Amino acid sequence: MVTVATVTVITVKDFFGNSANGKPTSLTVFAYDAKKGKQYPILQAKGHIWLDLNGERKQEAIDDKGKAVFQNLQVGDPVLLDVAFSEPYRAVQSDSIYVVPTDGRIYLAVELKNLERIRGHIFYQEKPIPGVVVSVENLRDTSDELGFYELRIPPDLQKREQKLLLHHPKVGTQTETVYPQTDQEWDFVLKK
C-alpha cells in the first residue's frame, strides 16, 4: 500500500493576507530619457517595450505619453524589459530583472546608443585623400593614407546629430551632417 501525502506551505504573510504577491495587475512601463530624468518621456508614439516573463516575450507599443501597458501580470512577477525601435535606443539596465510592484508602474531609463564614435573615409577625385582635418566642436582627427578618420566623442558632446567640418589646405572646407547612432561609416567626397 502506498500513501501519498500532500504538503501545503503557508507563510505568515499568506495566513494574515498581507501579501500582494500573485495579485492580478496591469503593468505600465514609462520609458524616459536616462540623461534628463523621469519627467522626460522618450519615444512618444514610437517603438515598443519588450517584456520577458518566464520565457514568454510580450511587446506593447509606446503611446504618445511615453508609456506601454501590459495586461495579465501578477504583483511580484520578475520581468526583463527593453526597447525596440529602429534607432539603437536601449534600456540602460537591459539585463536587470524588475519585479512587478503593487502600484503597477516601472520607470525604464532609456538611452540612445552608438553616439561615441564617428568614422569613415574621405575621397577626392575618386581616390582616398590623406591630411583632411575632420572636426566636431573641439575634437579633431586627420585622415590617413587610406583617407580614414575616426573621432571618439566624449559623453558630454554626444548627440544624435553632429556637424562635421572637413578641411584640406589644397581642396577647401565643407560641412557634413552625420547621425552616429546608425553605427555606420561616414564616407565623403571633397569638392573644390
Per-residue model confidence as pLDDT tens for the chain (192 residues): 444 444 334 343 443 344 456 789 999 999 998 888 888 888 889 999 999 998 899 999 999 999 999 999 999 999 999 998 877 788 888 788 999 999 999 999 988 888 889 999 999 999 999 999 999 999 999 999 999 999 999 988 988 899 999 999 999 999 999 998 877 899 999 998
Asked if residue 166 and residue 89 are part of one domain, the reply reads no
- Cβ burial, residue 54 (10 Å; 0-12/13-18/19+): exposed
Structural domain contains residue 11? no
| Residue after which a domain boundary falls, among 46, 80, 112 | 112
Asked if residue 82 and residue 161 are part of one domain, the reply reads no
Note the pLDDT of residue 12.
37
Structural domain contains residue 131? yes
b (16+ CB within 10 A) / e for 6-20: eeeeeeeeeeeeeee
b (16+ CB within 10 A) / e for 21-51: eeeebebbbbbbbbeeeeeebbbeebbbbbb
Note the pLDDT of residue 20.
58
Q: How many domains does the chain contain in total?
A: 2
Asked if residue 77 and residue 139 are part of one domain, the reply reads no
Structural domain contains residue 8? no
Note the pLDDT of residue 18.
41
Note the pLDDT of residue 16.
37
Asked if residue 182 and residue 108 are part of one domain, the reply reads no
pTM: 0.62
Expressed as residue numbers, the domain containing 81 is 22-112
**Rounded distance between C-alpha atoms, residue 43 and residue 26, angstroms:** 21
